[in-house]
A and B are shown apart, each in its own frame.
Chain A
Amino acid sequence: MTQYLEFEKPLAEIEGKAEELRALARANEEMDVADEAAALDAKAEQLLKDLYSDLTPWRKCQVARHPERPHCRDYIDALFTEYTPLAGDRNFADDLAVMGGLARFNDQPVMVIGHEKGSDTKSRIAHNFGMARPEGYRKAVRLMEMAGRFGLPVVTIVDTTGAYPGKGAEERGQSEAIARSTEMSLKIGVPVISVIIGEGGSGGAVAFASANRVAMLEHAVYSVISPEGCASILWKDAEKMREAAEALRLTAQNLQELAVIDRIIPEPMGGAHRDAKTTMASVGVAIQEMLDELKDKDGADLIKDRRQKFLDIGSKGLAA
């Protein structure tokens, strides 16, 4: 049973009707609804196409946050083998908002690190809705440093609303932890590859996305602030999130134009959550291609290229 987003309501109605019709037919064998149901299906498909062919930035935010969208855990299960989670920052705790460890990607040993939001109430609470505390970033620093020493490429999976704004997180140095994670990503002499699969929320995301190659799913978003946060500051009205989402240029398409990301991975019609398997397979292909692009570079070149890439960002703006 799909959870429908607000703008998908007309779609929910049609798909609901088709479902009802089929249920009726199951109860009453004499009824023939095949034609009618097929007509509704066709109508639904067309509507889905219409809705998703030109999503507004705010609608993309909603799709990017869809609760049934595949999360980090799903990608690790689908694309990696021998995943061996490594836990803890060796200092205070293990933050479950960040998962990571050794794994094989198409047989190549790598270090995989990502934000995990959780998929039901219980796991969402356990993973703190994907909002990491300093321990999460420090775990990532530890794993990246290790990957650098053992020559393992780092693959990060970015999906977070942002770093957790809590009392303890601040007391234990949230800012410093994020800064160190960005610093380590820029320092290691191995390929660093990021895929933004849902929300790329501000500093909490950039800490994992300071990479040689950054890919983004078609309907993912990546922004300095949430549209709601931006609206409440600049419009003094959180309800202006549609306008803010528009102004922030947070879509994959805009970000590619700005050279902030390197590639867009297409999603199945109706978003990643409607066909998780296909989505994850496309992400797998993209990761392999990005790794291949970097495989002939030595450590010093990888570091140099990564830094230069970020130093160069901002040299082109959007066309008016």
Chain B
Amino acid sequence: MSRPQPQGISDLALVTGLKSGDQGAMAELYDRYSSVVYAVALRVLGDSGAAEDVLQEVFLQLWHKPTAFDAARGRLGSWLAVITRNRAIDSLRKRRPETDIEDVVLSVAPDLAAEADRARAAEKVRGVMGSMVPAQRSALEMAYWQGLSHSEIADKTGEPLGTVKTRIRAGLIVLRKAFQT
């Protein structure tokens, strides 16, 4: 990976280490990403015990199946954040996971592994969310942080299904554009 790592060992090298059962590599990856994974799980679940269970589950999945992470498309931090959010929503809604972690491929986005980068990004995301019309912001937040389906959001807000779908997609695109500039 091109991003310089503070400890000098790339994420990719550590993930490769997992494939040969390197427990030290697991500890290093935990130290790099556990705060992101825990923060996302806690934000969704609002309960520290449940968030800790998801944290454990996400890292054990990485340990069991390191090949699921495709370094060519997506950064490890982003990938872990996405699978954590999905797993936390599954836990919140008491449903079985429907997406295999190896099917979660994402475009190469900013990594934000360092906490300072994340704090800046958090501020930017808050700014972008704040600039959205309230109905759009709340549709996106309900979908993302509560895992509500578009029809559940439509029921709650009284808006047509099509409008809710459009708001969610448009909200994500607004975020994308903010980080492209």
A binds B: no
- List residues of chain A with CB under 8 Å of any chain B CB: none
